Amino acid sequence: MWGVVMKIDCALYKRGNILKEVRAIDLSREDYFKHFKDFLYCAETDCKAKLNFVQTKNNTKFFRTFPSTEHKEGCPNEVNYDSEINHASQYDTRINISDKHIHDVLERAFSKFWNNQKTTKGFHKKRENINKIVKGTTNGGSAALFNEGIEAIGGKEPYIITRLYNQITEADEMQVRCIIGYVSSIQILSDIHAYINLTPKVENSVKVHFAEQFKANNEPEFEKMYIIQNYINSIKEIEKKIVCCCIGRVKFVKNGINILVDRSNGFTINGMNFYEIIAYMRDI
């Protein structure tokens, strides 16, 4: 039976000597990752459950119980395991996805994309296991990133829909998708933001976005993004095609679409993951 989680309106912010109540309606995703992440708790007296913040595509905002944490017995905000409850109206059933599941989905997606090409000439690619198809076990829950869901039970993880970059629709907004496209360029704009552009820098662009929350979860890897940049630029210099597969949350922005990834193994370039690219660049 799956646990489903109450949508919570208020949380207690505890950091050092600061103790105050915070309303979900007053937060934005940016505020949460910059100031409140890891410091929010259930506001019920004597309850020590940690909470995280959720903002849906319809701008509904609420707090949700952090995975692997428990409310005190009888807390009105505790995880509810009653399968008779109407999930659609009261609960959100997103399931966290593991590193292995991400690896398997990315490998299958790139393999299928590769095999559908009329020719492989003009690619630099990872040679090992390129045609390996890994069949995973999935359940009916929807995928969650940034550790905002509940843990999968029995090793069954959510199905992740794969889209080409030019097939993204409004129905994909704020959903976790596997996106595939050719790399146009890479930009490291600051110490907290980087982009892999799947289209030229024009209106309605599609970008893999390594945002502030990515750096918060992957600081050592973010500091090495310049190596990924060097790899992409070196391949472009010899006019070879570059394929990026990523798993991230689709977000429509003013000038196009961003795909927000939450971990360093959430993307591959020509079939190679982050550390395979680092090793390749070290060896050449």
pLDDT digit string (tens) for 90-102?
A: 345 778 899 999 9
pTM of this structure? 0.65
Q: Which residue has the higher pLDDT, 21 or 73?
A: 21
Question: What would the mean pLDDT of 207-235 be, rounded to a whole number?
Answer: 91
Higher pLDDT, 67 or 215: 215
Q: Which stretch of 38-42, 139-143, 159-163, 232-236 has the lowest confidence by average pLDDT?
A: 139-143
Yes or no: say if 22 and 13 are a contact pair by the CB < 8 Å rule.
Answer: yes
Residues 160-214 pLDDT 10s: 999 999 999 988 988 999 999 999 999 998 788 999 999 987 677 999 999 887 8
CA-CA distance, 13 to 31, in Å (whole number)?
13
Superfamily of domain 98-139+160-283 in CATH is Nucleic acid-binding proteins (2.40.50.140)
Question: In angstroms, what is the C-alpha Rg of the chain?
Answer: 20
In this structure, what are the phi and psi dihedrals at residue 233, rounded to the nearest 5 degrees?
A: -65, -35
The pLDDT value recorded for residue 2 is 40
**pLDDT > 50? residue 230:** yes
Residue 200, exposed/middle/buried by CB under 10 A (0-12, 13-18, 19+)?
exposed
Tell me the mean pLDDT in the region 241-259: 92
**CA triplet 15, 21, 26: central angle to 5 degrees?**
105
Domain positions in the chain: 5-92, 98-139+160-283
What whole-number distance in Å separates Cα of residue 236 and Cα of residue 270?
12
Rounded to the nearest 5°, which phi and psi values hold at 33? -70, -25
